[in-house]
Amino acid sequence: MRIGRVGAVGKEKPVVFLSPDSAVYVDSLVDDWSRDTLEAGGLESVRTANLDSLPAVDLATSRIGASVARPTKIICIGLNYRKHAEETGAAIPTEPVVFMKAPDCVVGPYDDIEIPPGSTATDYEVELGIVIGKRLRYASSHEEAQAAILGYTVCQDVSERHWQIERGGQWDKGKAFPTFNPCGPWIETDPSFNPQNKAMTCSVDGQVRQNSDTGDMIFPVLEIVRYVSNCMELFPGDIINTGTPAGVAMGMKPPQYLTVGQSVETTIEGLGTIRSTCVDPIMH
């Protein structure tokens, strides 16, 4: 089952996608796809319900929101693809490299990406997102990790390299700008979905920049979840971005960073495509 959220910002309603082009509202069965409802068994309630009579979503005229509401945290794994580590000149990690993004930088799959004020080094990163479905701490096996996974989604881990690398060396600073984590269009919750053999691409203005597959991961999905649960507790709705393959703007010679007006399209096999336009920042 593919679950997601549709509606204006702050007014999203939970839906089930029956196909990439059709969905039904399930807000009569569950308030939202959030930590509270997932902990309370919301997915199981919807999975066993008869969806035939539920109102259809007009996807042609509706905004699709982020796949999960108000995640507690966004955890990221750095340098987790061999060829990406090589293109950046970094050593292959012997343990997962873990950093965080601010949860409120998560936006919908077709929402704009704001280029920060004065930025000339905003980068794109296609990433497989793991969405947690059950609380997990100190997992000792991959079986425990598997049981805690709700499903998978497409994430665009936008990064500002100047702040990430040159402004004091803390990756978090280049990762948490507003709109820096488009996510969606749905969460694939089918337990038969194998995340470790999926093609993934990222294009800028129609030019393919990243073209790889999740088989190039250094640390696979279940090891990531097991490992992360041993340094922080995981909660339903938490998202883990699992790293990006080679082809980022930073690795090009010369670098080809994102600019206002460009379109970024991010695809993972079986999980759909998300698309954002780069715009000037909204100032408050």
Find the domain containing 261 and state its range: 74-279
The answer to whether position 228 is within a domain reads: yes
196 and 108 share a domain? yes
Quick one: 111 and 226 in the same domain? yes
The pLDDT value given to residue 27: 97
The β-bridge relationship of strands 13-19 and 74-78 is unpaired
Within-domain flag for 207 = yes
Residues of the chain with confidence (pLDDT) below 50: none
Predicted pLDDT of residue 92 = 87
d(CA 156, CA 143): 28
The H helix count followed by the E strand count for the chain is: 6, 17
123 and 78 part of one domain: yes
Whether 228 and 88 share a structural domain? yes
- Contact 245/210 with Cβ under 8 angstroms? yes
For 169-224, what is each residue's pLDDT tens digit?
667 888 999 999 999 999 999 999 999 999 999 999 999 999 999 999 999 999 99
Phi-psi region of 214 (alpha: psi -120 to 50; beta: other; left: phi over 0): alpha
63 is a domain residue: no
Residue 134 and residue 6 in one domain? no
Number of domains in the chain: 2
| Residue 88 shares a structural domain with residue 221 | yes
- Claim to verify: residue 161 and residue 259 sit in the same structural domain: yes
pTM > 0.85: yes
207 shares its domain with 262: yes
Looking at residue 165, what is its pLDDT? 72
